Amino acid sequence: MSICSRFGLALSLGLAAAAHAAAPAPSACQAHSAITLTPVIELYTSEGCSSCPPADKWVSSLKAAAAQGRVVVEAFHVGYWDYIGWVDRFAQPSHTARQRELAVSNHLAGIYTPQVLRNGKDWRGYPAALGEAQAARASIEIRGQGPDAYEAIVMPTDTTMAWSAYWTVTEHDHYSRVKAGENSGEFLKHDFVVREYVAAGVRKGAARLSLRAIAADKDHPRQVNLVVFDVNDGRPLQALSVGC
């Protein structure tokens, strides 16, 4: 075993031991990933896009699966259709930037809505089965550390791999009465709305990640999600949600 391999193994074991020794009393706000990869569904949508409501409705149908930990779902609202006449209040420039990065990795000529990606890959065949189970390439544990504070321990199976991650906070049960643009007069319902998106940088080996999230809104049930992915191809290594 090389020095690097021994160091990576020691770091992984050290983090695991430290987590065990310093772990707080059991909390309802904690989760541990499965041995199989949890699929990640990303929807890029806009309230100014007339073809988006059916995709939004389909995403909403995944609420039960997401609550059971069988899928991580994120609806990223984008603002590049705002010029048509209706400003999407959930859109953020960082959402469009992420969509553009994914377009490059998918060798797409441009970006569009509604766009669905499954595990980082453009997926024009939805709605369909989420795909066959495959082995996860990392494990994740998330624990709540107090109001709106979270910590995760990430342990990739390959300690030499460069990986990155991002957090999202998603909320359900948002409604909009659209008064202009392509969807003028429509009453839209949104679930899995990304209200916060935080990139976590590039790392190798095991690591701890933390998030100070936006304040919880009692009117909009939320999930805090962590997606860990291979920096070389954008494919998730594992993903995990906590609903607290």
Give pLDDT, residue 8.
39
Give pLDDT, residue 130.
74
Whether the CB-CB separation of 163 and 49 falls below 8 Å is answered with no
Long-range contacts of 60-68 (CB under 8 A, 24+ apart): 60/189, 60/190, 60/191, 60/192, 61/127, 62/192, 63/172, 63/191, 63/192, 65/130, 66/192, 66/223, 66/241, 67/243
Give pLDDT, residue 133.
83
Give pLDDT, residue 27.
56
Side-chain half-sphere of 157: how many Cα atoms within 13 Å?
Answer: 11
**Rounded distance between C-alpha atoms, residue 47 and residue 89, angstroms:** 9
For the stretch 18-69, pLDDT in tens is 444 444 444 579 999 999 999 999 999 999 999 999 999 999 999 999 999 9
Secondary structure (DSSP) of 125-191:
T-SS------B-SEEEEEEE-STTEEEEEEEESSTTSEEEEEEEEEE--EEEE--SSTTTT-EEEE-
Whether the CB-CB separation of 46 and 53 falls below 8 Å is answered with no
Q: Is 203 exposed, middle or buried (0-12, 13-18, 19+ CB in 10 A)?
A: middle
How high does pLDDT run on average in the chain? 89
CA distances, 193 to each of 45, 92, 169, 177, 189 (Å): 10, 11, 8, 16, 10
Residue 135 has pLDDT above 80, yes or no: yes
**Section 181-196 average pLDDT:** 97
CA-based diameter of the chain, in Å? 66
What is the percentage of the chain residues whose pLDDT exceeds 70? 89
In the chain, DSSP finds a helix count (H) and a strand count (E) of 4, 14
Give pLDDT, residue 71.
96
pTM of structure: 0.87
Confidence of residue 189 (pLDDT cuts 50, 70, 90): very high
Give the count of beta carbons closer than 10 Å to the beta carbon of residue 63. Answer: 17
Give pLDDT, residue 36.
97
Query: CA nearest 29: which of 197, 220, 210, 224?
Result: 224
- Produce one character per residue of 174-198: b if its CB has 16 or more CB atoms within 10 Å, e if not: bebebeebbbeeeebebbbbbbbbb
Phi and psi for 100 in degrees, rounded to 5? -65, -40
Give pLDDT, residue 14.
43
**Section 221-238 average pLDDT:** 96
For the chain, the domains span 3-242
Confidence of residue 131 (pLDDT cuts 50, 70, 90): confident
**Rounded distance between C-alpha atoms, residue 40 and residue 89, angstroms:** 24
Q: Which residue has the tokens 């304040």?
A: 215
DSSP secondary structure code for residue 218 in this structure: T
Residue 5 has pLDDT above 60, yes or no: no
Residue 188 has pLDDT above 80, yes or no: yes
